[in-house]
Amino acid sequence: MKVGFIGLGRMGQAMATRVLQAGHELIVYNRTRDKALPLGAAGARIADSIAAASEGRDAVITMLADDAALEEVVLCNAGLLQSLPRGGIHLVMGTHGVDTIRALKQAHQRANQTLVAAPVLGRPDVAAAGQLGIVAAGPADAVNRCRPLFEVIGRRTFDAGLEPEGATAIKLANNFALGCAIETMGEAFSLIRKYGVAPRALYDVLTEGLFSAPAYKVYGRIIADESYDQAGFTALLALKDADLVLAAAGVAGVPMPSANNLRDRLLSAIAHGDGDKDWAVMAREQARASGLS
């Protein structure tokens, strides 16, 4: 496929590398050009503009940090909306708000283009291994056209239906559930620390028992080791997602009291200067609240 890729943070770099290695014709663009240089050295073309990354492409993947960045890339002068060919696919793989995805879906439809939402599940190391989960939603023919990309980026694609915002809702729900698991582990680790127990002892009990899932293994280890500087997903990005969860819940009339607690813990971590740490740093906030260092 002729593919454009916009947004080359840690996740985007890893995903674009997978696309390139699979033999697709890849053009990449990033606002900070230096981030595109490793892909250029590996054989991708580096575009100097959004338009250059979009023209003549079968699909353009965006992997952007927030709604503002996505809207700018799509709606700006010579942006994706003006540059993607008729019939082209905008493949949105970042985490965004339901209302934003709905609005951009309609804008692409008016331009005879198609938006497919396919947010990913996993950290940068998982992306580099091509083992991400992908939650895909959009018109069936467009989703099928994207499957060769899904196959090289992820281990499994989950079908979220015909409306792109369905995939967005699933990704937000997944991040919410994971955030609550991290928050709960933070409370549990603080409890045993107050009794002088080594954190690794609880980690072993959790991960060798009922909680032997990757979420508890990965984030439980980060909490036990307090290795918050090795950020796969920062507290600032997690706060953005918590806000998106609450916004989606507000539109749908769904009470989510745990989401408010999650958001408050993230906000407290950021207020203490830990915004760039891994979002498991919520456990440090619980430790502070428990009188632990």
CB 121 within 8 A of CB 160: no
Distance CA 239, CA 270 (A): 9
Q: Is the pLDDT of residue 120 over 80?
A: yes
At residue 293, the pLDDT reads: 74
Q: Is 171 a catalytic residue?
A: yes
C-alpha to C-alpha distances, 34 to 13, 80, 106, 188, 247, nearest whole angstrom: 12, 21, 33, 42, 35
Each residue of 53-94: pLDDT tens digit?
A: 999 999 999 999 999 999 999 999 999 999 999 999 999 999
Report the candidate in 93, 72, 75, 67 with the shortest Cα–Cα distance to residue 4: 93
Q: Is the pLDDT of residue 146 over 80?
A: yes
Q: Is the pLDDT of residue 141 over 80?
A: yes
Percent of the chain with pLDDT over 90: 100
Mean pLDDT in residue range 178-183: 97
Q: How far is CA 35 from the centre of its chain?
A: 18
Report the candidate in 61, 85, 57 with the shortest Cα–Cα distance to residue 8: 61
Helix then strand count (H, E) for the chain reads 14, 9
At residue 5, the pLDDT reads: 98
Q: Map out the domains of the chain with their CATH numbers.
A: 2-162 (3.40.50.720), 168-289 (1.10.1040.10)
Q: How far apart are the first and last CA of the chain?
A: 53
Give the chain's radius of gyration (CA, Å). Answer: 20
Q: Which of 171, 194, 217, 240 is catalytic?
A: 171
pLDDT band at 229 (very low <50, low <70, confident <90, very high): very high
**276: number of Cβ within 10 Å:** 14
Mean pLDDT in residue range 8-36: 97
Each residue of 262-281: pLDDT tens digit?
A: 999 999 999 999 999 999 99
At residue 113, the pLDDT reads: 98
Mean pLDDT in residue range 191-195: 97
Q: Is the pLDDT of residue 221 over 80?
A: yes
C-alpha to C-alpha distances, 62 to 22, 89, 98, 116, nearest whole angstrom: 18, 11, 16, 11
Dihedral sign (CA 185, 187, 188, 192): positive
Predicted TM-score of the model (pTM): 0.94
Mean pLDDT in residue range 146-169: 98
Each residue of 28-57: pLDDT tens digit?
A: 999 999 999 999 999 999 999 999 999 999
| Mean of pLDDT over the chain | 97
Pairing outcome for strands 120-121 and 132-136? antiparallel
CB 3 within 8 A of CB 57: yes
Residue identified by tokens 């250029």 is: 40
CB 14 within 8 A of CB 69: no
